[in-house]
Structure 1
Amino acid sequence: MLNALFVTLIIASFAAYFYYKTKQFRSTLPIQKKWYKAKAGIALGLFVVFFGLNTFVVQDSTLGYVVGAVFIIVGLMEAYSSYKRAKHEGKFVQQEYELNKQ
C-alpha cells in the first residue's frame, strides 16, 4: 500500500517536472524562464525524495537505508534551494509580463 502511494507520488512529481521544463522552453521572457526552471527544480527534488522514501520501503537492508537517506537529503536540498529561487523570481514575473506585453 505504501509502495503504491510512493510510486504515484514519483510519477506525479516527474509529470510536474516535465510540465515545468516544457513551459520553461516555450517561454520567451527571461525571468519567467528562470521561474519555471526553479519550479521544475522543486518537482525534481520531490521526485528524488519520494524515490528515496520508496527505497526505504522496498529495500529492507542497511545499504537500502543509506541510499534512501542520501536520496532524501539531496532531494530536500534541491527542493529547498529551488523553492527559494522560485519565491524570489516569482515576485518579478508579473512585472516582467506587464513591461513586455504589447
Structure 2
Amino acid sequence: MIIFPTIILIAFFLYIYYKVMLVKSRDPLQQAYMNSKAKICLGTFVFFFGINQYLFYETRLSLFIGIIFLILGIFQFRLGIKSSRHYRNEYSKHRA
C-alpha cells in the first residue's frame, strides 16, 4: 500500500507550497485563491491520512479516529473547492 503514503506526502508538500506562495503574494485576491488551494491540499492530506492510519493499525480506536479525519478532510476539501471556484472567477474578472 505505497499509494496512500505517496498521496499523503504530495498533498503535504503542495500544502506547504501554497502557504509559502500565499506569504509571497501581495494581491489579496491572489492570497485568497492560494489559501483555497491550500485548503484543498490539507483536506486531501487529512482524508488519506485517516484512511492510512486505519489500514495500518486496524483497531476500533483507529477506526473512530480515522472516521473523524475522513469527515474533517471532506469538509476542508469541499470548502477549498467552493472558495477556489469563487476566487478563480473573481480573479478572471479582475484581470479582464
TM above 0.5, yes or no, is yes
Larger radius of gyration: 1
CA distance in 2, matches of 1:18, 1:93: 22
Aligned twin of 1:5 = 3
1:90-101 equivalences in 2 (<5 Å): 90-97=88-95
State the 4+ residue runs in structure 1 displaced beyond 2 angstroms: 94-98
Aligned residue type for 1:67: I
Unaligned runs of 5+ in 1: none
1:64-79 equivalences in 2 (<5 Å): 64-79=62-77
Which residue, out of 73, 78, 81, partners 2:79?
Answer: 81
CA distance in 1, matches of 2:93, 2:54: 44
Identical aligned residues as a percent: 30
Aligned residue type for 2:14: A
Q: How far did residue 26 of structure 1 move? A: 0.9
3-state SS of paired residue (2:26)? coil
Aligned twin of 1:59 = 57
Q: Does the Cα contact within 8 Å between 1:41 and 1:82 map onto a contact in 2?
A: yes
Aligned residue type for 2:77: A
Aligned length: 96
Unaligned runs of 5+ in 2: none
Query: Normalised by the size of structure 2, how large is the TM-score?
Result: 0.94
CA distance in 2, matches of 1:57, 1:97: 46
3-state SS of paired residue (1:28)? coil
Which residue, out of 13, 16, 28, partners 1:15?
Answer: 13
Q: How far did residue 97 of structure 1 move? A: 3.9
